[in-house]
Structure formats: C-alpha cells, structure tokens
Structure 1
Amino acid sequence: MKRYTASLAATCCLIAMSSIAQTPYKIVDQWKLGGTGGWDYLLADGAAHRLYITHNGRVEVVDTATGKAVGAVTGLKSTHGVALDPDGKTGYISDGAGNAVVIFDRSTFAVLATIPAGTNPDGIAYEPTTKTVWAFNGRSNNVSVIDPAKKEVVATIALPGKPEFPQVDGKGSIFVNIEDKNSIVKLDAAGKKAVATWALPGCESPSGMALDSDHSRLFSVCDGNKMPVTDAKTGKQIALATIGAGPDAAGYDAKAQLAFSSNGETGTLSVVDAANGYKTVQTLATKKGARTMAYDATNNRIYLMTAEYGAPAAGSKRPSVLPDTFTVLVVGK
C-alpha cells in the first residue's frame, strides 16, 4: 500500500509539473511608451517592480505594476545593456557609442559616473563574488572588468571574437556567447581570465543567452532557428532545440524549467520544455521585430519590445521605426 501511495503521489506530481509547463502563455497587456528610434536589451527588477529598457541614448524605466514610465537615465549616446547592483541603489549601463559604462542612481536616475571601457560595450553583467561589473566590448573583442567602488577598469581580458550576451552563475564564473565564432567563452571572475572556449555545434551567430543555475545549463539562441543547450560545467552540448527565426534574447523560468527565445524575424516567442527533452511546447505569436525580452520570475511575466515600422531611411536597408509606436508586450499565463 505504501509503494502504491508513493508511486501515485509521484505520478500526480509529474502530471502537475507537466501541466504547469504546458499551460499556454498569451499576451496579457500592451504598454505604449512612445518616443523615437530603436532599442536593445531589457532587464526586469522584480523586487522593485521596474523594467529597464535601453532606448537609443537613454534608458526608460517602467513601473511593471502600472505599465507607466517612472523616469529615465538620459544623456547617453547609444545604450545596449543594463546590470543592477545587489545593493538596490545603483545600476550600470553599457553606452556603446560612448565607449563607456555609466553608473546611475536607481532612485533619482541621475548619472553618478562615466567610466571609459573598450570599443562599443554591449552585454553587461554584475559579478557578485568579486563585486565587479563586466562590460563586453563588441568591436574591440574584449571585456572590461570594472571595480564600481573605485570607478575604474581593473582588468581587460581579450576574447577570441565578438562577444554578445553574458550570464553570471553567482559562483565566480561568467559565460558569454561569441557571435562570429559560434562558441561560448567561460571566464573566471577571481582570476580575471578566460578559462575555456566551447564550440556550439549547429549554431550560427549566437546572441542571447539564459542560464539554469540549478542544473548548470546554458541556453544560447542562434540564427537558423536553433537553441543549443550546453553543460555549464563541461562545455558539452546536451541538446539542440528548434526555435523561431531571428532570435536575439533568451530567458529561463527555473520553477517550470522553461526556456524562452524572442524571435524578431518570425514575430514569435518560443517556449522550450527543459525538463522533458527540450521540445518546443509553444510558439506564441508576438509581433515582427519583437527580438529582445526580459523574464521576471517574481510574477512569471515576459516583457518584449516592439514598434511599428515604415520604409527604410535613405542609405539604410533596415525599416525605420515609426515615431511614438514604441510598445512593451506583456506575456503571461
């Protein structure tokens, strides 16, 4: 009887977990922010109910409880990424065209310091064991390690190619996609050095990356509709999931063990079940151009950026972003 009860309980648990994983996502809200020009990465601060959105030469700050803008960090040249200090007081922005990292006050949104970095800093991350900020420079193919207390670069680490989005495991390791080499580099925070380079078979031009720290898995999103899953300890590929076209960002829900890919070309959000064979269990229609996103674990929401497009500007092949159509899509269950 005990065996039957235990078996039945385990089966019920698996069914419940499967149900959680397969409950479909949907667009539950849209927040129109307006403004002009394009955007890059987003970052959710669930505890503070805020969403940071890099938007040309500024970073928009949105209250996720109301969908209303509460302020902006301004005066920059071309923003790409945002990282937050665990102190709850300060944040860090990669200003690509300014070749700098900007420290800002999260209460007033005032710029506190501007620190020269490499050429075109893009991805950025805060590393908690060393209390350093890592800015990945897309054109100089290196990473600037910044001590925010000293407000200076304390190390510059060469990389084998163009870095894209990084992830930090909180235990002293940093991982970053190398876009033009179809690989991942692992870095040691304490030693301030690269310690491994891992190939990404079946991947072309990896951009966004998500991390499952509980199971040591990295999810990269690539051209060619692929999401390679990499063992963060050994560098070996575990799986190669199928996603939508034109991905640029990835996210991960640790509770449901779901990985996400925002696909700008197809205008979809791919949901991959990391607990059951890395199958794509949902393809949600979003909007063409919605290529970057942020996952908020506190409310199980996904935020994607999008806009309306017009004809390309003179001398450009890219469609232009129509003024005042800058919008956040809110995805939930």
Structure 2
Amino acid sequence: MTARRFLSWTYIVASVLVLSSPAAFRAAPAGSEYHVIRNILLGGDGGWDYVTVDPDAKRVYAPRGTHIQVVDEVSGKLVADMSDLKGLHGVAVAPEFNRGFVTGNDPDPLIYLFDLKSLKITGKITPPSAMDSDSLMYDTVSKRAFINTAASNNAQAVDAASGKLVGTVMLPGRPEAAVPDGKGSMFVNIVDKSQMVEYDTRALVIKNTWSSEPCFRGVGLSMDREHRRLFIGCQGSVSPQRDDPSTVSKNLLVVMNADNGKVVASMPIGIGTDGTAYDPSTGDVFVTCRDSGDGKNGVTKVFHEDSPDKYSLVADVETIYGARTIALDPKTHHVFSIGTEKNEPVPATADNPYPRPRPVPSTFTVVEIGK
C-alpha cells in the first residue's frame, strides 16, 4: 500500500486544470516492485476477518473471533492479546479520543470499546434492533464510528467522545465495507443488491443509491478522495458456485465516480476478495484475494491509477492462502493482510461441490507488503 507518481515540478508550474487532467498522472518507475516484505507468524486459535492499522501508534489489529492480537508494526512483536470477547469481526480507532471500537456478536450484536493506550476493554454497547455486527469505520467529520449490522440492513452510529449510541441509518440491503469521503459522507456497499449507498454522517440520511453493476457481491471498499473515485472489490457469484473456476470472470475490481455513481472501469482479480485499499501518495490500488485461482495461494493485485478513469496492473503479489482483507499504513506505504496456510479441502459433495481448503490455525500470519 511509495512516492506519489506526480512530477514535483507539476505542482509548481501547473494550474488546477492541469492537475485534474490525466497528464498529471505519472507511470510507475521501473525497477520498483511490490513484494512480501515480512510474514509475521502469530499462530493461536480462531478465525479472522478485517485487519486494521493504526498508523500513529504503529499497531496492527487482528481480530480472531474471541480475542484480538495486537502487533507492533515496527518490531513485528505481539504487544497484546485482548481476550474473553465474542464473535469478533473488525476494529476501528479514534486516536483523538483514545478510543477503539470492536464489532462482536454474543450472539446478539455487541460493540466493544477499548482504551488505545492500555489496550483494555472499557465497555460495550448492545444496539437495539440489530443483527450481525460486522464491518465498521470511523468518520473524522462527524466524530462517529459506524457499525454495519448486516442482517438488520442498517448502520449504527456511535459518538466517539461519549462512547454512546446516537442513531441508526436504515439501508436498502445488507451493508458490507464502508469508506468516508472526509467531507461528511459515508459510502457503503450493499452486498445483496449490487448497490452503492451514500449517506450523511451527521444527519444520518441517505443521499444517493446507485447500481454498482457489473459488480456482483461488492465487499471491499476504498476511495481516492482527491479524484472522487470508489474502488469496489467484487466477489462474484454466491456460494457454493463462487469457487467454481467458471465464475472467475465475475471477480472484479470496479471503479465508480463518487459524484454521480457512474462505473468508469473494471478489472479482473483473484477469487474471494474481501478488501481494497488506495494509497493517495502513490496512486496505487490494492486488492487482496483469498485465492489467486490456483487453489494454493492468495494474491494481492496492485493497480496504478494512470488517470481517474484508467488503471493498469503493476503487480501480482503471491501471499498465503486466505489473505483476503487489507489495511494500509499511509505513512510507510505498506499494506497488511492476514491468513493461514491450508490443508487440502474436504472431498466434494453434492451440497458442497467446490469445497474450500481448510485453514491451519497454528500458521496464522500477518502479511506485510511493500517495496
């Protein structure tokens, strides 16, 4: 997730008009390739979902179902293991309030609160009329964390200062990943409708709803705020056929204009994506995929934003199987994913004709990618 590919003299002599044109974009320099810098073996029990980076504290958060492993980004050492939790999915941080948020389910949805310095749980919220607490995102404009409760078709808003629930955004379908634009809007994938929703993070009302086709099952989401482009990771067809090799063409990175909902580009990716990330300093878009297509390894696809509507593939970085979610450290320009080695899949059956390989929990690893 390395120097922005705009020429430095462009900023000195160019007008705003020139900066907004494709000519302002610069090709990737030769000889600079993305690769796995480090595999940090953590092991331990539990599955995994979203990975989160706190670039200020240099910490990587890896929720593991019943506990959260916290890794020092510099040393690669485990600095905490927050335990006795239930049904964890994701972490978001609000450094200005020294507060972190964790989505959990016990089995009803929970929002755990924790102290960023002590890494201790300080409280929990039980949202009313909510099911399946999943992804979450902190918005610096409204000073609120937004928790997507997928089975309830809504997003729960929590005030970061008080740690209290302050409202709900009703959505037209199941929300997946979300991204704020830094101007008071939140964009969220509606995974079961192939839609993108924009809502106001202060008024808690929907502003726009757009089709994201040809995206099917849009999950991962990130944004180029300057050029107003959304990067949607699309999983393709629904289980069990989603791992059928014939559906590979439906696995896409789709690019949408955030001002009018127009899809401006789409590129093929690997199988089972669950995350995208955009580095504004480099103009590179990262897409993590559980399976590269060979059934043995994961892959992180890296595309360069040649212009807001044109993208080129610059790297296929092989990772461990199952590394499907992603987090960017915008200061180091490194990205992180999490996954395990795999056992061979169970035999195929009529009900499960395309079984996935089975994870080996003791091999749980944080993957760091950079140049």
Contact in 2 for aligned 1:136/1:143 (Cα 8 Å): yes
1:168 aligns with 2:180: yes
Counterpart position of 1:307? 340
Unaligned runs of at least 5 residues, structure 2: 1-8, 15-22, 236-249, 293-297
What is the deviation of 1:318? 5.0
Contact in 1 for aligned 2:306/2:312 (Cα 8 Å): no
What is the deviation of 1:300? 1.3
What is the deviation of 1:163? 0.6
Distance 2:160 2:224 in 1: 27
Counterpart AA for 1:47:
D
Task: Indicate the larger mover: 79-88 or 32-41.
Answer: 79-88
Of 246, 254, 259, the residue aligned with 2:272 is 246
Distance 2:365 2:226 in 1: 33
TM-score by length of 2: 0.81
Counterpart position of 2:302? 271
Distance 1:207 1:289 in 2: 15
**What secondary structure, in the 3-state scheme, does the structure 1 residue paired with 2:288 have?**
strand
What is the deviation of 1:324? 1.6
Counterpart position of 1:322? 360
1:226 aligns with 2:226: no
Task: Indicate the larger mover: 202-211 or 316-325.
Answer: 316-325
What is the deviation of 1:88? 5.7
Distance 1:28 1:15 in 2: 30
Distance 1:22 1:326 in 2: 31
Counterpart AA for 2:166:
V
Contact in 2 for aligned 1:242/1:279 (Cα 8 Å): no
Counterpart position of 1:126? 138
1:27-58: CA deviations, max 9, x gaps? Answer: 11111001022100111111211111111112
Distance 1:178 1:21 in 2: 38
Of 101, 104, 119, the residue aligned with 2:111 is 101
Counterpart position of 2:323? 290
What is the deviation of 1:196? 1.1
Distance 1:190 1:21 in 2: 45
Distance 1:250 1:183 in 2: 17
Distance 1:44 1:121 in 2: 20
Counterpart position of 1:19? 28
Contact in 1 for aligned 2:95/2:116 (Cα 8 Å): no
Of 153, 177, 187, the residue aligned with 2:189 is 177
Rate the CA distance shift 1:20–1:152 in 2: closer, same or farther, 3 A. same
Rate the CA distance shift 1:98–1:33 in 2: closer, same or farther, 3 A. farther
Rate the CA distance shift 1:54–1:98 in 2: closer, same or farther, 3 A. farther
Rate the CA distance shift 1:16–1:154 in 2: closer, same or farther, 3 A. closer
Unaligned runs of at least 5 residues, structure 1: none
Counterpart position of 1:87? 96
Contact in 2 for aligned 1:78/1:98 (Cα 8 Å): no
Q: How many residues align?
A: 324
TM-score by length of 1: 0.90
Rate the CA distance shift 1:32–1:189 in 2: closer, same or farther, 3 A. same
Contact in 2 for aligned 1:122/1:136 (Cα 8 Å): yes
Task: Indicate the larger mover: 62-71 or 14-23.
Answer: 14-23
Aligned 1:27-42 pairs, distance under 5 A: 27-42=36-51
Counterpart AA for 2:336:
Y
1:114 aligns with 2:124: yes
Distance 1:18 1:132 in 2: 37
Counterpart AA for 2:155:
V
Distance 1:34 1:229 in 2: 36
Distance 1:310 1:105 in 2: 37
Task: Indicate the larger mover: 105-114 or 148-157.
Answer: 148-157
Contact in 1 for aligned 2:154/2:169 (Cα 8 Å): yes
**What secondary structure, in the 3-state scheme, does the structure 2 residue paired with 1:139 have?**
helix
Contact in 1 for aligned 2:97/2:161 (Cα 8 Å): no
**What secondary structure, in the 3-state scheme, does the structure 2 residue paired with 1:87 have?**
helix
Counterpart AA for 2:96:
D
Counterpart position of 2:168? 156
Of 51, 65, 75, the residue aligned with 2:60 is 51
Distance 1:201 1:170 in 2: 25
Counterpart AA for 2:43:
G
Contact in 2 for aligned 1:94/1:124 (Cα 8 Å): yes
**What secondary structure, in the 3-state scheme, does the structure 2 residue paired with 1:19 have?**
coil
1:204 aligns with 2:216: yes
CA RMSD of aligned residues (A): 2.5
**What secondary structure, in the 3-state scheme, does the structure 2 residue paired with 1:207 have?**
strand
Counterpart position of 2:152? 140
1:261-298: CA deviations, max 9, x gaps? Answer: 00102111111111242122221211221111211111
Counterpart AA for 1:103:
L
Identity of aligned residues (%): 32
Counterpart position of 1:260? 286
